[in-house]
Structure 1
């Protein structure tokens, strides 16, 4: 058995353990009742926003690949993006993005695809950090300084990528790092493409913030939008820690803690579960046919 098997097994165990602890203090029947009584039209809007996500993800990824010299058609980009989503719910959070390497291995070198994925992640995290900083100007918190430090870290990442600095390691490993960082450098060099990719990234995560606001509203919780902008990115970051399936558990605990002044643990857990359902499980289910076709091709 390989390391990936044990890593996934550990993620399953940790996920179930976290929810075991949560349900020791939160009544699961009450959570189910809260979800059943959610405002259905609002949930419908959340669903429609979810459907937009892979279309935007594909456009952004294709822009990054194009500046690297690899021109995939839009339909193939959507197929690859959709084919990664089923893995998002059954693997440690966001590690599924690297499945793209396998799907396009015959067209793009693995290190180049890995570089495009890392560029996407850098844009994602930087954008979420900026959202968090903007919200924190109105709703400051002790974590604000940590958030600013992280933002500075990612600014440094973009600078290192742009300058192509040599690391004090072997030439062969340096070349691999250059291949990985090259997508970020090429994207930053092409200002128009960088701007468009940034707009798509902002759109992706602004949709996440809007969905969070709608989910809170669907359960009749009134939370200021800027408070959501300041705190929801933190919950999303906690869900990015690759120790649970699709970020479940860690993200839910964060939502319960961060929004404790606006709802009961049962209500906030319902928000977390609905967020996971719409942001992960819906796309995972829709993506199954795409995954099957992609696996057959390879």
Structure 2
């Protein structure tokens, strides 16, 4: 299974190599050599605002099951989780944040619930905003990126997925055959405890309406900085399509980053940008230059900071997991 995921994630690398073989590399390097440092710094600062908002959102969620969890701890976990998510398909490494919450007062199940809740909020908002962006593209450029039926199926799949996850008895029935077949007898009691603990954390958060609505509100607000950030990155290499263009582009790029066929969106993002920027008569070389800046500033730079944070605050394996 792991080998299959690794092979699948190489699709993006292959796409990227093919793209590089078909564009003017000299023109690409020329564009990057004239990148405006001032706009890059401004973009980085805007991205920092997004990081603060995302850390605050998760802190609010965690506080429903662990009131002592601080904003500083949330920031540390965010950077470490982001660092690991950068090198894993579909950002699965983000779940390492669980280990920064779990202790004798907050079990693994409740800790996992906070990360799942955080991801669910992000995914629902991402798909909602991305679908709006895709519909807007269809209206403005008369290009059907996704058909109406496909979008309806995606929304239905999200709704069904949420219903299953939030319905404890139903999920338990669906998982029971796999639980009985694949889980060794000596682990059954512990996993059952984690399962029940997970739903305890989930329902505590859901019934705390103040934190429920606060975290969702911050999640919505946290989408504003990425639009400005993308626009500033584009300006750094002389691309000025207007801010509204990036209100449409960024959600689509974020959606592609979730695909398990790429790590950090390498390859898939480049293909999408060549197509989307082409609608504004922007050359493939400029599109790839933007994609490389986006990769470095949005992923590698933050991941590098996260690696440093991890070395300073290494994860501790809770006794219940050892």
TM-score normalised over the length of structure 1 = 0.84
The whole-number CA distance in structure 2 between the counterparts of 1:8 and 1:87 is 16
For the structure 1 residues 13 and 143, does the alpha-carbon distance in structure 2 shift closer, same or farther, using more than 3 Å as the test?
Answer: closer
Quickly say closer, same or farther: Cα 1:82–1:92, change in 2 above 3 A: same
The equivalences for 1:165-244 within 5 A come to 165-167=169-171, 168-169=173-174, 170=176, 179-180=197-198, 183-244=201-262
> 1:136–1:181: structure 2 CA closer, same or farther, 3 Å change rule?
farther
Matches within 5 A, 1:250-269: 250-262=268-280, 263-269=282-288
Aligned-pair distance for 1:91?
Answer: 2.3
Question: How much does 1:285 deviate?
Answer: 1.5
C-alpha separation between the residues in 1 aligned to 2:200 and 2:24?
50
How far apart are the structure 1 equivalents of 2:219 and 2:76? 19
Q: Identify the residue that residue 141 of structure 2 maps to in structure 1.
A: none
Q: How many residues align?
A: 295
Offset of 1:166 from its aligned partner?
2.5
TM-score normalised to structure 2 length: 0.78
The structural deviation recorded for 1:31 is 1.8
Unmatched 5+ stretches in structure 2: 139-143, 180-187, 318-322
Q: Deviations over 1:144-168 (max 9, x none)?
A: 6334543343344445555545243
CA distance in 1, matches of 2:199, 2:273: 33
Deviation at 1:231, TM superposition (A): 3.5
1:21: how far off? 1.0
Is the aligned partner of 1:280 residue 2:299? Answer: yes
1:226-260: per-residue Cα shift (whole Å, max 9, x none)? 44333332222111112322222222222222332
When structure 1 is superposed on structure 2, of 132-141 and 207-216 the one drifting more is 132-141
- The more displaced of 11-20 and 265-274 is 11-20
Counterpart pick for 2:146 among 143, 149, 153? 143
Q: Which runs of structure 2 are paired with 1:1-298 in the superposition (5 Å)?
A: 6=3, 10=7, 13-69=10-66, 71-107=68-104, 108-140=106-138, 141-143=144-146, 145=148, 146-161=150-165, 164-167=168-171, 168-169=173-174, 170=176, 179-180=197-198, 183-262=201-280, 263-295=282-314, 297-298=316-317
Sort the Cα spacing of 1:198 and 1:238 in 2 relative to 1 into closer, same or farther, 3 A.
Answer: same
CA distance in 2, matches of 1:175, 1:297: 21
Q: Distance in 1 between matches of 2:161 and 2:9?
A: 32
- 1: CA distance between counterparts of 2:135 and 2:255? 19
Change (3 A) 1:150 1:288: same
Q: Answer whether contact 2:77 2:97 (CA < 8 A) is retained.
A: yes
Higher mean Cα deviation, 271-280 or 182-191? 182-191
Distance 1:105 1:65 in 2: 11
Cα deviation 1:199-234 (Å, max 9, x = unaligned): 221233322222122222333333354443333322
Deviation at 1:116, TM superposition (A): 1.9
**Tell me, what secondary structure is at the counterpart of 1:68?**
coil
Higher mean alpha-carbon deviation, 132-141 vs 232-241, is at 132-141
Cα deviation, residue 179, structure 1: 4.8
Larger radius of gyration: 2
Cα distance between partner residues in 2 of 1:151 and 1:225: 27
Give the root-mean-square deviation of aligned CA atoms: 3.0
